[in-house]
Structure 1
Amino acid sequence: MKITFPARLSWENFHTVMLKGLKVYAFYLAVLSLFRLFFIVYLHDYLGPASGTSDILMALWRGSRLSMQTAGCLALLSFLPSLCLHYLWPRAERWSWRVMNFIVLAVLAVLYAASFPFYRQFRMNFNQMLFTGANDDIYALFITMIQQYWLPVRLAGALLLAYGLWRLLLAWLRWTPVETRLRTVCLATPVRWLGRLAFLGGIYLAVLLGIFGGSLGWQTAVDWENAGVTKDEFLNEAILDNPQAIYRAWVLNSRMLACNGLDFTVEDIRSLAAVLAGRQPDSDNLDVYLQKQAQGARIDKPRHVFVILSESFANWPLLDKYKDIPIAAGMRALLAEPDTDYCPTFLPNGASTVSAVTGVVTGFADANLYLTTMPESFREPYVTASAPQMEKLGYTTDFWYAGPATWERIGAFTQAQGFDRFYSRGDFGDVPGSVWGCEDECLYAQILAGLSDTPGFHVILNASNHSPYDVDVEAKGFDKEAVRAALPPEAQADEELLRELGHYWYADRELAKFVREVKDRYPDSLFVIVGDHADRYNIDKMPSTYERYGIPFIISGRGIHKGTLLADSAGSQIDIVPTIIELIAPKGFAYMAIGSSLTTVNKRGVNYGFWITRQAIGKADTVPLVPEAVGGGAPPAIDDQAMQDYINAVRSLSWWRPKYGPLLDAALLKDR
């Protein structure tokens, strides 16, 4: 008896559905590849000078292989519902894949439109900042996207692009390939079966390429972790299509939340803590290794101590090579004063403002923990927290923030970590500013009005030098044309860069003015000035690692002089409070810190991804470490093992102590 299948289960129907799926797969691969090509062409200014045609071709080829995986996933999103409906509800199939594909294309187009300003801001394809932003002020982010990045216009353009691509997809699906036309010709049975086998073989090949990222097996598979094979950082980022970049960000963020990015045993941490403390590994209590004693005050005790975290206040405008660009006159004048010293080799605690806050407030380095959301951070101040230790020296403590108290739970967090008072924009009344905070001059005016003769430790976080860069700096005196004339010819037409530089100028001017006014009223004050981070804008499209990530460390006040800081000092934000304590505390004063003072011993800094000395900088996660000269030229030699030990000690202690407490107990890791 001859067995027949229902029409819906015939070879012809199977062939039709699978061919449609293959064509959708090929279309998405073409779209992702063309997106990559245009991205490289449009942002070609970010290409390294040593990158040539072969590097670009390599990036395009490697990226297309990786996008085979992405295209396969996107095709499945439309193919699987259509496949089910084809056999269960044929009438619905026609509109289902049309709707699904338009949705997929719309999402792709919106991500693509967003990737250009994102790269310009962070020099990366989509990264963990997406998830950091999820904890940020969503309303402020939304307003910023409208004001600075023209969200409605970009969104409209993205949807128009999606519609055009969708129409192309419809036309592509209507096109009949030769293989299909041959099926209408009477062919011998063996030939038909050979054709069917070839078709099935094509499906099998497409599935393998989609699963293994342009390869036929896992041994040679391309994924986001091994895709960047060129010597150019921009091209390595361009290799990742937008969905792959978001997947990378999600994986890295998941590792951070699970602390899987740090794999230290208790034995490792004990040994590293001992190395950091310069003693034997003879205790399972980490606090033993964190104990320090001040060597004796180097200056008279100041009336007020200010730590100013200035938004996006990078160090590069203070370098000699940029001295003719008039945006940093205030800090340059301060650096020329005899009561001021300066360390030009200093790193932020992390890539975002919240990392700077946690570094100064808790004394911990950025080590895959989101301290402002951890329940442990709200139980009691950590032993390394700055406010309680400054209170022991006789200071009241307050934190001043230009923005809202709800941002990153900063109000609750700082007070939970021991600050007596917290002030934010809600305390200042109706003052001008952006969604991120009031203008710097308004913040400093509030602080000046709140000062009294009572000794105080004040941490200040301003916000004006932040997107959407909407301070009317020209009305405040910014000479845009003088800055334009001082820029390299290739940068003079960049209006967005000029607006950003204008906000650096404004932050610099208001900061210098604030320091002068406080010194006039309380000449016995001490100032520590740092950026919260850099890495937002540079004049050079391809800045050196040092120029891209470095922030200034400026210390000023009565008793400070050139040479107060070690001549070869370097550090990061966890070293700020130890430096202050060693300047003002009496001999024998006991305090807790992971960092150390730039006045006594500290000649190296480390943060979430980099290390620095007076002569060199490099990535912290390479083995061996690869130094890059701070001032250019041949890279200097470093003690690789000593630096590796320091990096691992800072990270491991900053990971274990806030999460698990002072006692090293392997049983605590079982619940990770």
Structure 2
Amino acid sequence: MFSDFFLGMQQDLKVFLLPPVLCAVFRLIFILVYRPKKSPRGEWRKWITCFRYAFWWGMDFNAYVFLIPLILVSIPGAFLPVYFAMGDGVRMGLLLVYAAALYTAFIAKMVFYAHFHDTFNQTIWLGKNADKRNFADIFFHQNHGAWLLLGYLPYLAFCWAAGNALLSLPSFSYPIVTEGVGQYAINTLVFIAAILLFYWLRYGGTLRHRLKPEWDEVPPLVKEDAVLGKASIDDLIALEMVWKRPVQEVLHHSDEESREILASVLPKNFAAYAPLEAFKRTAQGARITPPRHIFFLLGESYGQVFFDDPYRDLNLMEAGTQFRAEPHTVSINNFISSGMISQPSLVSLLLGIYDADLELNENVLFWNHTLPTSLPLQLKALGYHTSFWYGGGLNWGSLVHFIPALGFDAAYGGTDICMNDAPRTWLGVYDHLFLAEAARRIRAEGKAQPSFHFLYTTSNHGPFRIPIEEYGFDAARLNPAMAAALEKNAAKYRGLGCAWYADWALCRFIDEMREAFPDSLFIVTGDHMGGEVPLVEGVTERQELLLRERILTAFSLYHPELTPEHLEYNTIGGHMNILPTLIELIAPKGTSYYAIEKPLTERIDHIVTPYAWLTRGEIGFYRERAAQELTVTAGMLPWMFDTERFTAERDAYVELTAYYVRHPELLMKR
């Protein structure tokens, strides 16, 4: 009986060999059709890396070509001799169904790329309510649809012949190694090995799910090539990625609906075709001497909670607390991020409008165009040379394409500028090493031209495996009670240690740059609240975070002429207030600029993002329809549920982003 299973399993493996070959052929056709340079001459490493990575990533689907017949044919065939005899016919039927799916996805991708210069993306969702007759007309008369459909016949005939040829290859007979219980044990191990083989294939040649191939991990030399980068994604994988991220309903709105929704943030009777024109402002005149160097530090998971009074004695923000206490550092302790996760937060800060989870950095339109609200674009207009520095690789989030389109003059990835053997997490090079190399290069640039540097760190992120003790983390020195409480909680110990380390690395960079360039202006904030929270059992009063502690990020501003009076009106703020604040502090009077929010030099009564709202006395979270009093306390605060405020304003900001996605003709060519 088990010998039949063993023979059937080999047949399943033979059938499995064909789909990866088909995917590779489709990949090659795509490259040869759409890539300007058709030959790999001089680029063999890039091509080989593309096909290698795509092969393993494609196993996310292709591995099931082994598993499904194993379950549906080989296992029952081991018990049913009649079914075993017809097993190859069933395998061929399953193979042809899957092969047809591969071909369908391939021709759909080819057509889609011809129209949108991109593989499958969220635009697919826009076809739901489109004129299907128009689609058919385009398909048959523009994309040679009849020939593509006729292609099923020779294609499936080839698959049938190739599949039968593979199945006819000789198989190994099942060896009898021992008898009785020993043979049953070996049979069990063979069955388990077959299951492990499936998972090893599906996870891309590893049994660790965390190492499974995905878009963010596509090697940079492949991802920086627009066609090869897209070719590294098998067609079914690309469709799955779109399916997992359905487009928001906002992208279905008509222009008439948009005008109604945008009315809550636009001036009355504003009728311009480009709504961002309503957010054009005029600077009132510089409040400080314009610095030669501006540093915008965005710290991974750099939350306000670590600075709050209930956790201050933990001394986790040892360096940051000293920096905040300086007379020319101004901090706002109620500061809200523009995104709940990294990419929307970063994109919103740089582009000047809320990303609203529309993943503008992954939208090919924003790889060659931008908006007038762009942060680097507006600083370039003030005479600054702009540079972007990221601790990881610029292939993450398609930054290699998105960052130049924003108007940055230069972009650097930590994995590129640091030594190849520089220690790193799975996100990027250790913060202090990345920032040290960035500092070295910035000093080497000198003072000839005013410069703006946006630096984004990565280390304060799970799984928190940085050797924090080597860099000075000593829990007993910071707080003996905390050290004792963390003795049996290694995960929290390492998480809080990484928070301390990230803060130390940021402030060390600040000190180094202030010594080199004393007139510098520093903006310090976090991408979002995250990482390990400073709730330590037996030390802190609560074991549950307040809403403000879950959401608010840190914010500090430093310049040798800055005083609290410059921002005296405000106890609240948000990411989208940073750009106009910077302009109002340094720009000459009469300078025109774009910003969707007011500067912190003016009184702000409330902040609204696509995710949350903030007033001087309350914080609310739209996803949970809940709110709490905006109070720093060691105790617990009551919740207000089924509560939403400023929803019209929230909807308008999301609509503003969607409007420009739907109207690419309004984007600025880089």
Answer whether TM exceeds 0.5 for this pair. yes
CA–CA distance in 1 between the matches of 2:80 and 2:422? Answer: 62
Q: TM-score, normalised by structure 1?
A: 0.60
3-state SS of 1:466 partner? coil
How far is 1:574 from its partner? 2.7
Query: Which residue matches 2:562?
Result: 560
CA–CA distance in 2 between the matches of 1:101 and 1:520? Answer: 61
Q: Deviations over 1:306-339 (max 9, x none)?
A: 1101112111110111111122111111111110
How far is 1:611 from its partner? 2.2
How far is 1:455 from its partner? 0.6
Query: Which residue matches 1:501?
Result: 496
Query: Which residue matches 1:160?
Result: none
Contact 2:460–2:499 (CA under 8 A) maintained in structure 1? yes
Q: TM-score, normalised by structure 2?
A: 0.60
Q: Return closer, same or farther for 1:467/1:287 CA change in 2, 3 Å cut-off.
A: same
Pick from 404, 412, 418 the counterpart of residue 423 of structure 1.
Answer: 412
Query: Which residue matches 2:280?
Result: 291
Query: Which residue matches 2:382?
Result: 393
RMSD, matched Cα: 4.2
CA–CA distance in 1 between the matches of 2:544 and 2:219? Answer: 32
Q: Return closer, same or farther for 1:290/1:658 CA change in 2, 3 Å cut-off.
A: farther
How far is 1:630 from its partner? 4.0
Pick from 340, 347, 366 the counterpart of residue 358 of structure 1.
Answer: 347
CA–CA distance in 1 between the matches of 2:307 and 2:322? Answer: 11
* Structure 2 residue 247 is matched with structure 1 residue 270: no
CA–CA distance in 2 between the matches of 1:566 and 1:514? Answer: 28
Q: Return closer, same or farther for 1:79/1:479 CA change in 2, 3 Å cut-off.
A: closer
Pick from 501, 526, 529 the counterpart of residue 524 of structure 2.
Answer: 529
CA–CA distance in 1 between the matches of 2:439 and 2:369? Answer: 30
Task: Give matches, 1:212-251, under 5 Å.
Answer: none
How far is 1:292 from its partner? 1.9
How far is 1:572 from its partner? 3.0
Q: Deviations over 1:532-557 (max 9, x none)?
A: 22222213353222212221111111
3-state SS of 2:353 partner? coil
Contact 2:391–2:431 (CA under 8 A) maintained in structure 1? yes
Contact 1:360–1:574 (CA under 8 A) maintained in structure 2? yes
CA–CA distance in 2 between the matches of 1:654 and 1:610? Answer: 17
How far is 1:566 from its partner? 4.6
Query: Which residue matches 2:507?
Result: 512
CA–CA distance in 2 between the matches of 1:629 and 1:370? Answer: 30
Query: Which residue matches 1:135?
Result: 215
* Structure 2 residue 317 is matched with structure 1 residue 316: no
Query: Which residue matches 1:213?
Result: none
How far is 1:441 from its partner? 2.4
How far is 1:346 from its partner? 1.8
Q: Deviations over 1:142-168 (max 9, x none)?
A: xxxxxxxxxxxxxxxxxxxxxxxxxxx
**Equivalent position amino acid for 1:523 in 2:** P
Where structure 1 has 5 or more consecutive residues not aligned to the other structure, the ranges are 1-75, 112-116, 119-129, 141-249, 665-672
How far is 1:621 from its partner? 4.3
Task: Give matches, 1:342-491, under 5 Å.
Answer: 342-425=331-414, 426-430=416-420, 432-434=422-424, 435-449=426-440, 450-451=442-443, 452-453=446-447, 454-483=449-478, 485-487=480-482, 491=486
3-state SS of 1:331 partner? helix
CA–CA distance in 2 between the matches of 1:411 and 1:251? Answer: 23
**Equivalent position amino acid for 1:501 in 2:** L
CA–CA distance in 1 between the matches of 2:607 and 2:438? Answer: 31
Q: Deviations over 1:168-225 (max 9, x none)?
A: xxxxxxxxxxxxxxxxxxxxxxxxxxxxxxxxxxxxxxxxxxxxxxxxxxxxxxxxxx
CA–CA distance in 1 between the matches of 2:257 and 2:286? Answer: 35
CA–CA distance in 1 between the matches of 2:217 and 2:241? Answer: 22
Pick from 533, 537, 550 the counterpart of residue 548 of structure 1.
Answer: 550
Q: Deviations over 1:15-59 (max 9, x none)?
A: xxxxxxxxxxxxxxxxxxxxxxxxxxxxxxxxxxxxxxxxxxxxx
How far is 1:366 from its partner? 2.9
**Equivalent position amino acid for 1:448 in 2:** A
Contact 1:349–1:607 (CA under 8 A) maintained in structure 2? yes
Query: Which residue matches 1:657?
Result: 660
Task: Give matches, 1:56-67, under 5 Å.
Answer: none
Contact 2:495–2:532 (CA under 8 A) maintained in structure 1? yes
3-state SS of 1:422 partner? strand
3-state SS of 2:513 partner? helix
Contact 1:302–1:526 (CA under 8 A) maintained in structure 2? yes
CA–CA distance in 1 between the matches of 2:611 and 2:341? Answer: 13
How far is 1:260 from its partner? 3.0
Q: Deviations over 1:331-368 (max 9, x none)?
A: 11111111011112222232332223212221121323
3-state SS of 1:344 partner? coil
CA–CA distance in 1 between the matches of 2:621 and 2:195? Answer: 40
Q: Which moved more, 1:626-635 or 1:459-468?
A: 626-635
**Equivalent position amino acid for 1:657 in 2:** Y
Task: Give matches, 1:169-188, under 5 Å.
Answer: none
Q: Return closer, same or farther for 1:489/1:475 CA change in 2, 3 Å cut-off.
A: closer
**Equivalent position amino acid for 1:631 in 2:** V
CA–CA distance in 2 between the matches of 1:580 and 1:253? Answer: 37
* Structure 2 residue 583 is matched with structure 1 residue 581: yes
Q: Return closer, same or farther for 1:512/1:561 CA change in 2, 3 Å cut-off.
A: same
* Structure 2 residue 617 is matched with structure 1 residue 615: yes
**Equivalent position amino acid for 2:308 in 1:** L
CA–CA distance in 2 between the matches of 1:610 and 1:462? Answer: 24
Q: Return closer, same or farther for 1:322/1:663 CA change in 2, 3 Å cut-off.
A: same
Contact 1:340–1:556 (CA under 8 A) maintained in structure 2? yes
Where structure 2 has 5 or more consecutive residues not aligned to the other structure, the ranges are 1-67, 91-187, 204-208, 221-238, 536-542
Pick from 247, 250, 260 the counterpart of residue 249 of structure 2.
Answer: 260
CA–CA distance in 1 between the matches of 2:287 and 2:193? Answer: 69
Q: Return closer, same or farther for 1:608/1:273 CA change in 2, 3 Å cut-off.
A: closer
CA–CA distance in 1 between the matches of 2:578 and 2:611? Answer: 19
Q: Return closer, same or farther for 1:506/1:493 CA change in 2, 3 Å cut-off.
A: same
3-state SS of 2:302 partner? coil
How far is 1:383 from its partner? 1.6
Q: Return closer, same or farther for 1:659/1:256 CA change in 2, 3 Å cut-off.
A: farther
Query: Which residue matches 2:329?
Result: 340
Query: Which residue matches 1:34?
Result: none
CA–CA distance in 2 between the matches of 1:599 and 1:476? Answer: 38
CA–CA distance in 2 between the matches of 1:348 and 1:134? Answer: 26
Query: Which residue matches 1:211?
Result: none
Contact 2:339–2:356 (CA under 8 A) maintained in structure 1? no
CA–CA distance in 2 between the matches of 1:604 and 1:81? Answer: 63
Q: Return closer, same or farther for 1:661/1:262 CA change in 2, 3 Å cut-off.
A: closer
Q: Return closer, same or farther for 1:533/1:626 CA change in 2, 3 Å cut-off.
A: closer
**Equivalent position amino acid for 2:648 in 1:** D
**Equivalent position amino acid for 1:581 in 2:** I
Contact 1:78–1:100 (CA under 8 A) maintained in structure 2? no
Query: Which residue matches 1:596?
Result: 598
3-state SS of 2:216 partner? coil
Query: Which residue matches 1:605?
Result: 607
How far is 1:591 from its partner? 1.4
